[in-house]
Copies of this chain bind each other. A is one copy, B any other.
Amino acid sequence: MDKIDAGSPEKSSGDSDKGGVKAVDRALMVMGALERAPGPQTLTDLSVATGLYKSAVLRLIESLKNAGYVARFSNGKYSLGPGVFRLGAAYERLNPIREYIGVVLNNLVSEGSESASFHAPEGTDSRICMMRVDSHHSTLDRIAEGDILPLDRGATGQLIAAFGTPKDERLEEVRIAQFAASVGIDDSGWADMAAAVFGPNGKFRGALSLSGPAVRFTDAMIDRWRPRIINAARNITLELGGQISSTRRPKA
């Protein structure tokens, strides 16, 4: 009873009309523009970014502002408002599993692991970093909670792709192992390993990941941490009410 359908932004072809409310779609376009923007935006910025008339943006913003989702500064620019924080806090409160994942991540890091994080699928070709605890080693990579990352980079991306839709058959080995590790040679200088987490009905929920400088991801290091990260992922799965399956289940 925990399967999630959060809707996917992309719809292959002709995604526009999906029976929602158009005015709301437009307001959320404005929110998206503000979310993506590098900083406070002018009315004209938003008009250009969304393709809506300035007058329309102004009207939509009026409603968003009343709810605190948009803030306007004294210089006239717009940005996300404190209301989105309240929302974020509510999200945390409503998803208490995050607390448990935090405990698991902290445990790994305090045992001396590389930086630990949890990533969930986001749409069909990306993932989102839901939580992250920096390692006690150096911490200079730029990944933070909320970051959207591609699936074609790193073991974590690979693991999520292996359980994605449509399934990448080339990744069947990864899917069976429920684990992936960077082979090491990557010009980025970073490496990672990840173990799969499942919810009820065996539904894939995300990846528990350790990441750090590639130079530290030796075969020995990977062998040492693999059982621990797999075990940690298993604990999260159990906490989520998921079943541990050594074999893959065909359908939910």
Q: Which residues of A contact B (CB under 8 A)?
A: 1-7, 9, 15, 18-25, 27-28, 31-32, 34-40, 59-60, 62-75, 79-94, 96, 99-100, 120, 122-123, 128, 130, 139, 144-148, 200-201, 241
Contacts and interface: CB of A to CB of B under 8 A. Distances in A.
Contact of A146 (B39, B74, B92): B92
B99 A25 contact: no
17 contacts: A1-B74, A6-B65, A6-B71, A7-B70, A9-B66, A20-B63, A21-B27, A21-B62, A28-B64, A71-B96, A79-B94, A80-B87, A80-B94, A82-B128, A86-B128, A89-B144, A92-B146
B147 A35 contact: no
Is chain A's binding surface mostly helix, strand, loop or mixed? mixed
Given A28-B69, A88-B89, 12 more contacts: A6-B70, A6-B82, A24-B63, A28-B67, A31-B67, A35-B86, A39-B96, A82-B241, A85-B200, A88-B91, A93-B144, A93-B146
Contact of A25 (B63, B85, B96, B100): B63
Nearest to A66: B7
Contacts of A24: 23-24, 27, 60, 63-64
B91 A73 contact: no
Contacts of A9: 66-68
Contacts of A73: 1-5, 96, 99-100
A74 B71 CA distance: 35
A110 to B, nearest CB: 11
A86 B31 CA distance: 11
A147 B63 CA distance: 23
Given A23-B21, A24-B63, A39-B94, A4 B71 contact: yes
The 3 closest A-B pairs by CB, nearest first: A89-B146, A88-B88, A20-B63
Contact of A21 (B2, B60, B68): B60
A101 B141 CA distance: 27
Contacts of A148: 86
Given A6-B82, A65-B7, A96 B40 contact: yes
